[in-house]
Amino acid sequence: MADQAKWYVVHTYSGYENKVATNLEKIVENRSLQDWIHEIRVPTETVVEIKDDKQHEVERKLFPGYVLVKMVMTDDSWYIVRNTRGCTGFVGPSGKPTPLTEEEVAALGVEKRSVEINYAVGDTVRIIAGPLENFTGVVESIDAESGKAKVIISMFGRDTPADIEINQAERLA
């Protein structure tokens, strides 16, 4: 059933995103609906604001008024989500729920996909994709959380740092 689950966008009253998400999570837990409603997310980003000459990290909603729900669409699951307090309906033509495409889910960064890293800092790698394809370099740093690696490439007789996606390089034997 997990392969039938898709991401849907639910419209909420402005400012009620977290409340709707917690209400839905409670309903899912109380009624044992984990097979139908898998995940509920309020997409946020952390932004540094400067106020009174001080830096503060603030968490901001990416899409105010919207909650993302990964669920198997049935009449019952639709009814439960639609009738959650603070929810105004699903996003789609004439209120009919339209699931997000795989590309949209990837672009939103909703689902974290695990990438296997077969190299480490200090290893020599060959870049297998992107604009620097077929160049070789030495890995300087790896940031698994953002999915990026910094590689030092020798270009025109100079060492040049390049930020690449982790899956764009492979370790040389």
Residue 46 domain boundaries: 2-108
Query: Cα–Cα distances in Å, from 47 out to 44, 59, 62, 159?
Result: 10, 6, 11, 33
* 102 and 138 assigned to the same domain: no
* 146 and 73 assigned to the same domain: no
* 21 and 83 assigned to the same domain: yes
* 23 and 94 assigned to the same domain: yes
Q: What pLDDT, on the 0 to 100 scale, is given for residue 66?
A: 92
Residue 3 has pLDDT above 70, yes or no: no
CATH code of the domain in which 46 resides: 3.30.70.940
Q: What pLDDT, on the 0 to 100 scale, is given for residue 24?
A: 94
Would you say residue 164 lies in a domain? yes
How many structural domains is the chain composed of? 2
Q: What pLDDT, on the 0 to 100 scale, is given for residue 112?
A: 54
* 100 and 163 assigned to the same domain: no
Q: Give me the mean pLDDT over the 154-173 stretch.
A: 88
Would you say residue 162 lies in a domain? yes
Q: What pLDDT, on the 0 to 100 scale, is given for residue 140?
A: 94
The domain boundary residue, chosen from 108, 140, 156: 108
Q: Which two tokens stand for residue 38?
A: 């898998």
Q: Give me the mean pLDDT over the 86-96 stretch.
A: 87
Q: 64: Cβ–Cβ under 8 A, 6 or more apart, which residues?
A: 14, 15, 17
Residue 34 has pLDDT above 80, yes or no: yes
Distance CA 137, CA 139 (A): 7
Residue 125 has pLDDT above 90, yes or no: yes
